[in-house]
């Protein structure tokens, strides 16, 4: 926090001139930002305590929405599935991204080309990705099960057609899509580790594994922590990928929180109840970030 100098009369004029200038720069963006992001977030906490419906008639119902949520088995299914997705997507993507970054940080030919490829899934639209993976996952004729058959898997999974395998299928695609993005962040982090540290470790006779554990990992601590937070938020808000790939099915096997909000809100017009579910999503994502802030602060001090 930059503290402003103690204001003497002349400075006060400067401060007020700067305030006008500052606000005039920020205002065009801020008006849109306030109206479309800040205001909705505030309104959310009102709507969640009402029975707001499609006609816009709202009655204050107190905690009724939350009490209903407590007994709503679909809500708990959605929450459980979201946690399921996060529990696998986060470590898998973290490991894949770090692995790729380490691979790319070496002086090999074709690294630039590979970096381009790895980033490609991230800039491809979810709809195209979902539909092509659905073809790849096709239980009877798809190449993935053909490949599994070729290596001797007799009873390959039904993937998106099976309630057991639909979530793993979604997790695989999610990891495939995002690992290139996080790889880039890791790569940037790796480049900040001084080469002398590696040289010193090598001189001391440290094995590659020891160098990884004692030089690379500590050097990447900030990056890793930050990537984990981003990944967690991204996992808990997962929606479009699942919506297009499985539609939440079969049954409710891939129904996630965001999709449940969408269903209740936009398909059944229960804006009040949907907002209550939104608050849970909000609390999870915001809570994680606040924790990050606190841990970061403690480490810095």
Partner 1 sequence: MTATDLSTPVPAVVAPGNRAPRRPVRSLGGRILGYAALALAAAGLLLPFFWMVVASLKTNNDVFTIPITWLPDPVVWRNYLDIWQRSDMTTWLWNTLLLSVIVTFLQVFTGSFAAYGFARVRFPGRNLLFLAYVGTIAVPWQSYMIPQFILMSKLHLSNTLWSIVAIQAFGAIGVFLMKQFYETIPEELSEAARVDGLSEYGIYRRIILPLSRPALASLALLMFTTTWNDYLGPLVYLRSPELRTIQLGLNTFISQYNAEYALIMTGSVLSVLPVAVIFLLGQRYFIEGVASTGLKG
232-261: contacts with partner 1 (CB under 8 A) = 233, 236-237, 239-240, 243-244, 257-258, 261
121 interacts with partner 1 by CB under 8 A: yes
Q: Which is nearer to partner 1, 76 or 286 (CB)?
A: 286
Asked if residue 123 binds partner 1 (CB under 8 A), the reply is yes
Candidates 67-75, 84-92, 155-163, 174-182; binding stretch for partner 1 (CB under 8 A): 174-182
Report the site for partner 1 in 40-59 (rule: CB under 8 A): 40-41, 43-44, 47, 52, 56
Q: Indicate whether 281 belongs to the interface with partner 1 (CB under 8 A).
A: yes
Contacting residue, 125, 217, 218, 295, with partner 1 by CB under 8 A: 125
User: What is the 3-state composition of the chain as percent helix, strand, coil, each rounded to the nearest 5?
Assistant: 75, 0, 25
Asked if residue 165 lies in contact with residue 88, where contact means CB atoms within 8 angstroms, the answer is no
- Is residue 291 a contact residue for partner 1 (CB under 8 A)? no
Stretch that binds partner 1, among 65-73, 85-93, 155-163, 280-288 (CB under 8 A): 280-288
Tell me which residue of 184, 15, 163, 197 sits closest to 93, measured CA to CA. 184
Rounded (10°) angle between helices 126-136 and 166-190: 120
Rule CB under 8 A: is residue 116 a binding residue for partner 1? yes
Nearest approach, Cβ of residue 87 and partner 1 (Å):
18
Residue 104 CB neighbour total at 10 angstroms: 19
Q: Point out which span in 67-75, 153-161, 162-170, 284-292 binds partner 1 (CB under 8 A).
A: 284-292
Taking residues 64 to 93 in sequence order and writing x for each that binds partner 1 by CB under 8 A, - otherwise, the string is: ------------------------------
Cα distance between residue 261 and residue 263, in whole Å:
6
Contact between 8 and partner 1 by CB under 8 A: the answer reads: no
Q: Does 207 sit near partner 1 (CB under 8 A)?
A: no
Q: CA 299: distance to chain centroid?
A: 24
- By the rule CB under 8 A, 106 interacts with partner 1: yes
Select 72 or 240, whichever has its Cβ closest to partner 1.
Answer: 240
Alpha-helix runs per DSSP H in 34-72? 39-47, 64-70
Phi, psi of 50 (to 5 degrees): -125, 175
CA distance 270 to 52: 7
Among 9, 10, 29, 267, binds partner 1 (CB under 8 A): 29
Tell me how far apart the alpha carbons of residues 54 and 274 are, in angstroms, rounded to a whole number. 12
Please select the residue that binds partner 1; options are 78, 98, 129, 167, rule is CB under 8 A: 129
How many angstroms separate the Cα of 215 from the Cα of each of 40, 193, 206, 220?
Answer: 45, 8, 10, 9
Q: For residue 48, report the phi and psi dihedrals to the nearest 5 degrees.
A: -65, -20
Q: Single out the residue of 11, 13, 32, 63 in contact with partner 1 (rule: CB under 8 A).
A: 32
Rounded to a whole number of angstroms, the minimum distance from the CB of residue 251 to partner 1 is: 19
Spatial CA neighbour of 177 closest among 130, 111, 107: 130
Q: Taking a C-beta distance cutoff of 8 angstroms, is the pair 66, 276 a contact?
A: yes
Candidate list 10, 141, 152, 301; residue touching partner 1; CB under 8 A = 141
Question: Is residue 118 part of the contact set for partner 1 (CB under 8 A)?
Answer: yes
Number of residues that bind partner 1 (CB under 8 A): 105
Is 138 a binding residue for partner 1 by CB under 8 A? The answer is: yes
Cα-to-chain-centroid distance, residue 77: 20
């Amino acid at each position: 926090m930059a503290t402003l100098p103690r204001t003497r009369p002349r400075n006060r004029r400067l401060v007020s001139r700067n305030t006008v200038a500052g606000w005039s720069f920020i205002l065009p963006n801020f008006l849109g930002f306030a109206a479309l992001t800040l205001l909705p977030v505030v309104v959310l906490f009102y709507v969640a305590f009402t029975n707001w419906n499609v006609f816009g008639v709202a009655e204050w119902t107190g905690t009724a929405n939350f009490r209903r949520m407590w007994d709503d088995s679909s809500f708990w299914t959605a929450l459980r599935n979201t946690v399921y997705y996060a529990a696998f997507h986060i470590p898998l993507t973290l490991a894949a991204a770090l692995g790729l970054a380490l691979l790319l940080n070496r002086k090999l030919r074709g690294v630039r080309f590979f970096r381009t490829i790895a980033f490609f899934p991230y800039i491809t639209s979810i709809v195209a990705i979902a539909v092509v993976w659905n073809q790849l996952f096709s239980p009877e004729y798809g190449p993935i099960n053909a490949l599994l058959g070729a290596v001797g898997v007799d009873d390959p999974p039904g993937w998106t057609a099976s309630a057991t395998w639909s979530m793993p299928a979604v997790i695989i695609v999610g990891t495939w899509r995002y690992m290139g993005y996080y790889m880039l962040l890791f790569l940037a982090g790796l480049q900040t580790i001084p080469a002398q540290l590696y040289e010193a470790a090598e001189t001391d006779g440290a094995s590659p594994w020891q160098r990884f554990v004692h030089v690379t990992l500590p050097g990447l601590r900030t990056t890793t922590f930050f990537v984990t937070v981003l990944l967690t938020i991204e996992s808990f808000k997962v929606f479009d990928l699942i919506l297009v790939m499985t539609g939440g099915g079969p049954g409710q096997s891939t129904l996630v929180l965001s999709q449940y909000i969408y269903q209740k809100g936009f398909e059944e017009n229960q804006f009040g109840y949907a907002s209550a579910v939104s608050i849970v999503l909000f609390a999870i994502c915001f809570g994680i970030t606040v924790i990050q802030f606190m841990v970061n602060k403690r480490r810095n001090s």
